Structure 1
Amino acid sequence: MIIGAGVVGAACAYYAARAGLCVAVVDRGPVAGGTTGAGEGNLLVSDKEAGPELDLALLSAGLWRELALELPQEIEYESKGGLVVAADEATVKALRGFADGQRAAGVDAVEVGPGDLRDLEPHLAPDLAGGFLYPQDAQVQPAQAAARLLAASGAEVYLGEEVTALLRSPGPAGSGGLRGVRTSRRELLAPAVVNAAGTWGGAVAALAGIPLPVLPRKGFVLVTEPLPRVVRHKVYAADYIADVASGSASLQSSAVVEGTPAGPVLIGATRERVGFDRSLSTQALRRLASQAAALFPVLADVRVLRVYHGFRPYLPDHLPAIGADPRVPGLFHACGHEGAGIGLAPATGALIAAALTDSPPPLDPTPFDPTRFGEPPE
């Protein structure tokens, strides 16, 4: 039983089914109704320093390429590559050191001099100092990807049903393992339950009586009117990397700009921890618009047709929780990916499938141990 019909839950269902398991998925809303539906579909290695998350991203990048062959039209996979740009030579030097570490881990990072940037992106601002091209970066249509993975899994799907309790087998002091879930409509029995509830992963863990410090981190995206393909890659300023790694609760923004096959340009990205406050922030939107226009002056007079936002599932060390939770037999976690859940979904699904079947994992799952945060102070 998988709680959550976003792209991570769908990937868990897909790989669990491929491992020979019978799968059911339950969600209080529609498929991709949470963080997935508010995402841009980024599949990035470029923004991750050498370490466990980059290893997970590289595994996922390969799995996404396989999925693109299996589901070519449905997920709108586009291997556009990413371009990280720097405003000054000091930032280029910092990016160079960052890329050296990534290359040692298996990332393809190509330095681009200031004279060559506009060959890659003709509409870029002319005064940039240089950048790095990441050919392994790609994009999918996230809601479509979740829907197609879920359909391909053959899972039984229960939508519009909130999980209100985790069912336990008899045991002393509530120590029995899980035997399923109770929803607002029924009981669904299963010997294993996967918490893929995204931003609400902490609330699902609390139903089992255990802590998992998942917090919402809000972000906005601007969508322009349809344009000719004025942005060829996913292009972002170097300070985006620092924003991703930051634990600050205050508003942060950095220009992240990419075209889409349909024509609109997507402009992100902001981050702030304000709980589940859904109010519109004119400050955040103005920042995004001005930063995007500074990066691509051609966008200065383009109309923005709509704005949307979502809540990234944030964990304090910026690594997801993936795997079995020994505190509650039968409980597994696959949540807390922050803004990288779409990119990391296939590798997460493969790790969960290995854990469910007691098979060798495709990479070391230790850094993603759901119990690493311990008990909160009293």
Structure 2
Amino acid sequence: MYGTRVTVLGAGIVGAACARELAQAGFDVTVVDRGGAAAATTSHGEGNVLVSDKGPGPELQLAQLSRRLWPEVLAAIAEGSARGAEAAAAVEWEPKGGIVVATTEAGARELSAFAAAQRTASVRADVLDADALADAEPFVTRDHTAALHYPDDAQVQPAAAATALLADALATGATLRTGCEVLGALTRGGRLTGIHTTAGRLGTDLCINAAGPWSGDLAARLGAPVDVRPRRGDVLVTTPLPPTVFHKVYDADYVGAVGSSSEDLQTSAVVESTRAGSVLLGSSRRRVGFDDRLRPDVLSAVAAKALRLFPGLAGVPVMRAYGGFRPYVPDHLPVIGPDPRLPGLWHVSGHEGAGIGLSVGTARLVRHLMLGRPTEIDPAPFRVDRPAVLNAAAHPGSEETV
């Protein structure tokens, strides 16, 4: 594939991971972003690399592939050069594991059934009794009905992870063009041959739409709409604390919130520490278009759920809050693959809140598909021409804000 030009639209972590894989495969890669690298959704995430929140199926398979690849990718970046070693270290890869806690009898039953199904798909999910939970998380609530330990859950610093992937792509020969907005497609004979941008025309052989929550709007500009919509989440950040939270800890409601299609506010407790000592308190999900306002009622609901898991955090100062948009698809599966309506166009989006964790597995899948090689997981469930992606009732960017 040497000499084949690939333009990646979006310099977030999914676009960066794709650029790296394709540059290493010998493609001539250009990354285009209207803003800056990792400046939007990626920099507003928590850095989750999770298998614990996914039931058996294609997304779990993609998560398991990604979880295996993350340490391999970071090791390869670190071995490339001294600068690569610094970039890999800044990613703050931490395979700390996750703990899921139920606080009701119904929650305990659902959590147990969910974990039993996951184990059939080779997910490690270990039951913690009260003493084991107290040893693992001394400050978590004692008012719980069940707890599970997922040793394969991990965390990264998301902006640093995207930067490391992109820097490695650039070191391999890719180029980056920021401040360059895509206006439309260039076509010839029904095939995409380039893009119109605010910086002029850019010819290409293949184009990857990796614009995250903006993928739906971008796809419409290119003449091949897909139903990818923004779904907002908000996070609270405490002042630095002594060691208080030792795993990624969340309540059993989190899985239900992730899988919900409701437009209403969904909240659940997700609590984890960073290497700097701050504790991140999440999470929320709501469909409000691209309304970027922080809502006190949402932040209050997030804090209340977090305090149910860690009552000792009451009174701890919150130094900031931030929110971001996740790329949501109605059937909750990413969109990965070529668009049959416009040859030359690929879509790689729709990962919602799992894009950080799934990025490297997604990029490896794209690489093998573009090269025509066997893939490690079945790509069919992620195909572009499935009903949930193409049967959009309205333009994804046209949702009313509330």
- TM-score (normalised: structure 2): 0.90
Aligned position for 1:251: 265
Q: CA deviation at 1:358?
A: 1.8
Q: Distance in 2 between matches of 1:53 and 1:376?
A: 22
Q: Which amino acid aligns with 2:96?
A: K
CA contact (8 A) 2:226 2:392 kept: no
Aligned position for 1:285: 299
What are the equivalent positions in structure 2 for 1:36-185 lying under 5 Å apart? 36-70=42-76, 71=78, 72-154=88-170, 155-169=174-188, 171=189, 175=190, 177-185=191-199
CA contact (8 A) 2:227 2:329 kept: yes
Find out whether 1:295 has 2:301 as its counterpart. Answer: no
CA contact (8 A) 1:237 1:255 kept: yes
Aligned position for 1:222: 236
Q: Distance in 2 between matches of 1:28 and 1:304?
A: 32
Aligned position for 2:40: 34
Q: Which amino acid aligns with 2:48?
A: N
* Segment drifting more, 254-263 vs 91-100: 91-100
Q: CA deviation at 1:375?
A: 4.3
Q: CA deviation at 1:297?
A: 1.4
The 1:126/1:377 distance shift into structure 2, 3 A limit, reads: closer
Q: CA deviation at 1:204?
A: 1.6
Aligned position for 1:333: 347
Flag structure 1 segments of 5+ consecutive residues without an equivalent: none
Q: Distance in 2 between matches of 1:281 and 1:112?
A: 36
Q: Name the SS for the 1:115 alignment partner.
A: helix
* Segment drifting more, 66-75 vs 292-301: 66-75
The 1:307/1:377 distance shift into structure 2, 3 A limit, reads: closer
Q: Distance in 2 between matches of 1:200 and 1:226?
A: 34
Q: Which amino acid aligns with 2:178?
A: L
Flag structure 2 segments of 5+ consecutive residues without an equivalent: 1-6, 79-87, 395-402
Q: CA deviation at 1:272?
A: 0.4
Q: Distance in 2 between matches of 1:190 and 1:126?
A: 58
Q: Name the SS for the 2:327 alignment partner.
A: strand
Q: CA deviation at 1:189?
A: 1.4
Q: Distance in 1 between matches of 2:59 and 2:392?
A: 24
Q: Which amino acid aligns with 1:132?
A: L
CA contact (8 A) 1:83 1:134 kept: yes
Q: CA deviation at 1:334?
A: 0.4
Q: Distance in 2 between matches of 1:301 and 1:61?
A: 36
Q: How many residues align?
A: 373
The 1:299/1:375 distance shift into structure 2, 3 A limit, reads: closer
Q: Distance in 2 between matches of 1:119 and 1:127?
A: 15
Q: Name the SS for the 2:14 alignment partner.
A: helix
Q: Distance in 2 between matches of 1:308 and 1:63?
A: 29
- Tell me the alpha carbon deviations over residues 110-160 of structure 1, each in whole angstroms, 9 at most, x when there is no partner: 011223211110001111122110011001111111111011012100011
The 1:294/1:318 distance shift into structure 2, 3 A limit, reads: same
Q: Which amino acid aligns with 2:62?
A: L
Aligned position for 1:276: 290
CA contact (8 A) 1:222 1:268 kept: yes
CA contact (8 A) 2:182 2:198 kept: yes
Q: Which amino acid aligns with 1:97?
A: A
CA contact (8 A) 2:91 2:164 kept: yes
Q: Name the SS for the 2:336 alignment partner.
A: strand
Q: Name the SS for the 1:116 alignment partner.
A: helix
Q: Which amino acid aligns with 1:20?
A: G
Q: Distance in 2 between matches of 1:32 and 1:127?
A: 39
Aligned position for 2:203: 189
